[in-house]
Structure 1
Amino acid sequence: MGNEKRWCKRTPFFAAKSYEQAAQMTQQLQDLPTAAKYYDRAGQLYVEGGYRDSGAILYERCAPQFQQLDRSISIDFYLKAARLAEQEEKSYQTADLYEKAAMQAIRMSNFQQTTELLETTTNILTKLERFDRINRVILYRILLKLFNEDSIAGRNIFDHACQIYPTFDQWEERNHIELLLDAFDQDDKDLISQRCQSPYFMAIEPEFVRLIKRWIRPTTNNVNQQRTANSTAPSTSGSKPIQLDDDEDDLR
């Protein structure tokens, strides 16, 4: 009877392995939608067999493989991995997985889901007192509000972070964020364009950089310089050429 119970418990594990192998073979045949279904079933079987950790590892490992096909699959896999890690009380891994899901959501321009996932990430990191990682997440949350043309909400997130997160208030990059918020408060598009081109903003998550570049206004410096040069250059259209007098008497 004991052996039978152990076998019943192990059966989902081996079934999960079989689905994994089937998914890999299907991937080789370039049938990615079917492969995603097989991987998902494998993850479910790991959980049914009590192997939540194996399920989380599977989902996290497979999530990036479907980014080009359908990012919603990647998001789903990251979220399933996050929930399993949360059940295993692996909070740091959970926060990391929620953030990875958020980075996929922003690539789909799903600002609402991205915001929710980053808020969840912030809450987990706050409980863990991992303030070293919170700064970046706070920045992304502020930028999301600015992308949604809600600079007031962005300012509120900034002020709140300065009050409750000492590491954020003392962060040297904090000034770049505050200056950008000031430009939005003034509704000065030229100033926004200038400040968002800071090397700091150009070095963050690529998708955020792509969205930030929408604020950059075409520079007119070269055109203005050309116009200035043309207006200040001496005109020769109405001047007479210098005439040299060939008279011998004048040369003496």
Structure 2
Amino acid sequence: MAAEKINQAHEHGQSRETVSYLKTSFLKWKPDYDSAAAEYSKAAVAFKNADAHTNNKTALEQAAMMLKEMGRLSDAVCLIEKASLMYVENGTPDTAALALDRAGRLMESQDLAKAVDLYQQAAGVFENEERLRQAVEMLGKASRLLVRQHRFEEAAESIQKEKNMYREIENFPTCFKKTIAQVLVHLHRNDFVAADKSIRQSYSLPGFSGSEDCVCLERLLQAFDQQDEDAVHQVTNSPLFKYMDNDYAKLALSLRVPGATKKKKLPAESSEGGARAGEVEPEEEDDEYAGGLC
């Protein structure tokens, strides 16, 4: 019975009809991806009924690629998720996680929330296999997309997971950078207490206390606490913040302090065309002829 089902599956996946759907001719300019995808889906069902996992995954991925070419990304990703589950069941979790990563990249242009979910799934697969370096890379992608969607509370939790993993693999310098990202997220949530707690927790990391990252963060929190937006702007425009991942660099540049007061700029800081450094602009004199000669 299984052999019969496998033969049926191969007939769907390699039939003349399937091949013809993908060919073009003088009268047929575009491949019929819709029909081809349907045939591959039938093949996947047949392989599943025959319990032929390897062939089933192949058929599902072929159907997914057809759907992708048709612009039906959501349907394609659904099939990739099914294939990834079969990879895990068949003892190839790395392949499953990589498939989910590819699906996440596909969805970034269409559905950021779904892309986050796919990256988190991939991270989970890698973490279960104790491959933390790969898992934390997937989590990093999810965190950045959460920030892009202004889902700051979830982003803060995701970054904390990253920090925990980097700490476990003893990549402390990257922990410092994740602390900066987490502080920015908390400040955008107007949660000064959480931002301060994030820094305090990082004091236990080897090398953090007294580092450039630590000093800049302390200056940032002090300026934020004093509601000095100019000082905040000065810190967030430093190279340490500007050369972060793009989503976090944007967070730094867009940071505003509620109820902040701006200090008056010195002449040297004035806009182009104003007084130069060390010069004082002359006071305007009343024009005694402003009303004419009468």
**TM-score interval w.r.t. the shorter chain?**
0.7 to 0.9
Within the candidate set 120, 124, 130, 2:171 is matched to 130
Structure 2 counterpart of 1:225, one-letter code: G
Q: Which residue of 2 aligns with 1:191?
A: 231
Higher helix share: 1
Q: Does 1:232 align with 2:272?
A: no
8 Å Cα contact 2:176-2:213 kept in structure 1:
no
Can you list the C-alpha shifts for 1:62-118, whole angstroms capped at 9, x where unaligned?
211210100122111111111111121112211221122111111111111111111
Q: Does 1:156 align with 2:205?
A: no
Q: Which residue of 2 aligns with 1:4?
A: none
8 Å Cα contact 2:120-2:139 kept in structure 1:
yes
Measure how far apart 1:223 and its partner are.
8.8
Q: Does 1:58 align with 2:99?
A: yes
Distance change in 2, residues 1:215/1:102 (3 Å): closer
Structure 2 residue matching 1:204: 3-state secondary structure? coil
Q: Which residue of 2 aligns with 1:114?
A: 155
Q: Does 1:140 align with 2:190?
A: no
8 Å Cα contact 2:185-2:251 kept in structure 1:
no
Measured in 2, the distance between the counterparts of 1:103 and 1:142 equals: 14
Measure how far apart 1:49 and its partner are.
2.1
Measured in 1, the distance between the counterparts of 2:255 and 2:116 equals: 28
8 Å Cα contact 1:91-1:124 kept in structure 2:
yes
Measured in 1, the distance between the counterparts of 2:71 and 2:129 equals: 34
Measured in 2, the distance between the counterparts of 1:89 and 1:231 equals: 66
Can you list the C-alpha shifts for 1:142-164, whole angstroms capped at 9, x where unaligned?
111111111222122112212x1
Count matched residues.
Answer: 231
Q: Which residue of 2 aligns with 1:14?
A: 55
Distance change in 2, residues 1:235/1:134 (3 Å): same
Unpaired runs of 5+ residues, structure 2, are: 1-46, 257-261, 290-294
Measured in 1, the distance between the counterparts of 2:216 and 2:83 equals: 46
Larger Rg: 1
Structure 2 counterpart of 1:81, one-letter code: A
Structure 1 counterpart of 2:151, one-letter code: N
Q: Which residue of 2 aligns with 1:203?
A: 243
Within the candidate set 118, 122, 131, 1:81 is matched to 122
Q: TM-score by structure 2 length?
A: 0.70
8 Å Cα contact 1:10-1:49 kept in structure 2:
no
Can you list the C-alpha shifts for 1:111-141, whole angstroms capped at 9, x where unaligned?
1111111111112222222213211111111
Q: Does 1:101 align with 2:142?
A: yes
8 Å Cα contact 2:180-2:213 kept in structure 1:
no
Q: TM-score by structure 1 length?
A: 0.80
Measured in 1, the distance between the counterparts of 2:114 and 2:56 equals: 22
Measured in 1, the distance between the counterparts of 2:255 and 2:121 equals: 35
Structure 1 counterpart of 2:220, one-letter code: L
8 Å Cα contact 1:82-1:97 kept in structure 2:
yes
Can you list the C-alpha shifts for 1:179-220, whole angstroms capped at 9, x where unaligned?
111101212122222322223212212122222222368x97
Measure how far apart 1:10 and its partner are.
7.4
Measure how far apart 1:235 and its partner are.
4.7
CA RMSD of aligned residues (A): 3.0
Structure 1 counterpart of 2:246, one-letter code: P
Measure how far apart 1:167 and its partner are.
2.5
Measured in 2, the distance between the counterparts of 1:77 and 1:172 equals: 35
8 Å Cα contact 1:11-1:49 kept in structure 2:
no
